[in-house]
């Protein structure tokens, strides 16, 4: 199994956490986003979306989109689980994951931040205004959701580590990289700190990757 990954990509980080948590061996294939290697002909043949990560199994089948990939891996390798069994708990985990993956991440994706500069916004405005604004909007919403649902504990879903945590951890890493103030989100940070202490997360985090720079 091969994982096409970039060390600082939060979606790649998600897959690395999931694979490490489940103990699934893979060969990393590094795709440099700054060098535009995701637009190279060879990579586009594998993933026409020109995004990372991409997972290639031993039969050469290619899987994309991180949350769909995590659920696929969970079906294929159910232990330890990253999705709960009950329908309502599944909804909750998917809802948390989508608050992050669908509401927060797209507005702070590197390609979006780069494109904003074509409208005359300088780096200080993009990194110091746009990014923190949408991070705060997203984490405010997520914090409120965790509080209102009353299901969080050590992790997003009580004591069970799930896809919701796999999505949350890289988002916090990115926010910290941009020096965002996360003190107003104590439940989010409690979950993050518990997850960041896991061996699977430490193995997957950007600073431990061979392609880091």
Mean pLDDT in residue range 107-124: 90
Residue 196 has pLDDT above 90, yes or no: yes
Mean pLDDT in residue range 114-119: 92
Res. 30 pLDDT band, cuts 50 70 90: very high
Residue-wise pLDDT tens digits, 124-160:
889 999 999 999 999 999 999 999 999 999 999 999 9
Task: Please spell the DSSP secondary structure of the chain, one letter per residue.
Answer: -EEEE-TT-HHHHHHHHHHHHHT---EEEE--TTTTGGGSHHHHHH-TT--S-EEE-TT--EEE-HHHHHHHHHHHS-SS-SS-SSHHHHHHHHHHHHIIIIIIGGGG-HHHHHHHGGGT--HHHIIIIIHHHHHHHHHHHHHHHHHHHT-BSSSSBBTB--HHHHHHHHHHHHHHHTT---TT-HHHHHHHHHHHTSHHHHHHSGGGSTT--
Q: What is the pTM of this model?
A: 0.96
Mean pLDDT in residue range 190-204: 98
Q: How far is CA 13 from CA 18, 29, 63, 84, 200, in A?
A: 9, 13, 16, 21, 11
Beta strand 2-5 with 27-30 is parallel
Angle, alpha carbons 80-85-91 (nearest 5°): 115
As given in the structure block, the two tokens for residue 152 are: 């969080």
Mean pLDDT in residue range 66-74: 98
Residue-wise pLDDT tens digits, 175-188:
999 999 999 999 99
Res. 20 pLDDT band, cuts 50 70 90: very high
Return the closest-CA partner of residue 13 out of 145, 165, 183, 193: 165
Looking at every residue in the chain, the average pLDDT score rounds to 97
Residue 110 has pLDDT above 90, yes or no: no
Q: Residue 139: what pLDDT? A: 98
Q: How far is CA 124 from CA 113, 133, 173, in A?
A: 11, 13, 20
Res. 52 pLDDT band, cuts 50 70 90: very high
Mean pLDDT in residue range 93-114: 94
CB 94 within 8 A of CB 140: no
Q: What percent of the chain has pLDDT over 70?
A: 100
Q: Residue 137: what pLDDT? A: 97
Cis bond before residue 130 (omega within 30° of 0): no
């Amino acid at each position: 199994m091969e994982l096409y990954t970039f060390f600082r990509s939060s979606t790649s980080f998600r897959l690395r956490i999931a694979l490490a948590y489940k103990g699934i061996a893979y060969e990393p294939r590094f795709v440099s986003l700054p060098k535009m290697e995701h637009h190279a002909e060879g990579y586009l043949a594998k993933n026409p979306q020109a995004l990372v990560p991409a997972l290639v199994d031993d039969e050469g089948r290619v899987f994309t989109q991180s949350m769909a990939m995590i659920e696929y891996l969970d079906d294929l390798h159910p232990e330890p689980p990253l999705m709960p069994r009950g329908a309502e708990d599944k909804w909750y985990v998917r809802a948390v994951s989508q608050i992050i993956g669908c509401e927060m991440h797209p507005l702070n994706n590197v390609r979006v931040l780069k494109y904003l500069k074509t409208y005359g916004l300088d780096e200080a405005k993009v990194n110091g205004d746009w990014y923190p604004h949408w991070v705060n909007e997203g984490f405010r919403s997520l914090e409120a959701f965790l509080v209102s649902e009353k299901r969080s504990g050590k992790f997003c879903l009580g004591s069970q580590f799930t896809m919701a945590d796999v999505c949350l951890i890289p988002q916090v890493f990115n926010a910290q990289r941009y020096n965002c103030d996360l003190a107003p989100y104590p439940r989010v940070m409690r979950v993050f700190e518990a997850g960041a202490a896991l061996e699977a997360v430490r193995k997957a985090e950007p600073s431990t990757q061979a392609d880091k720079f």
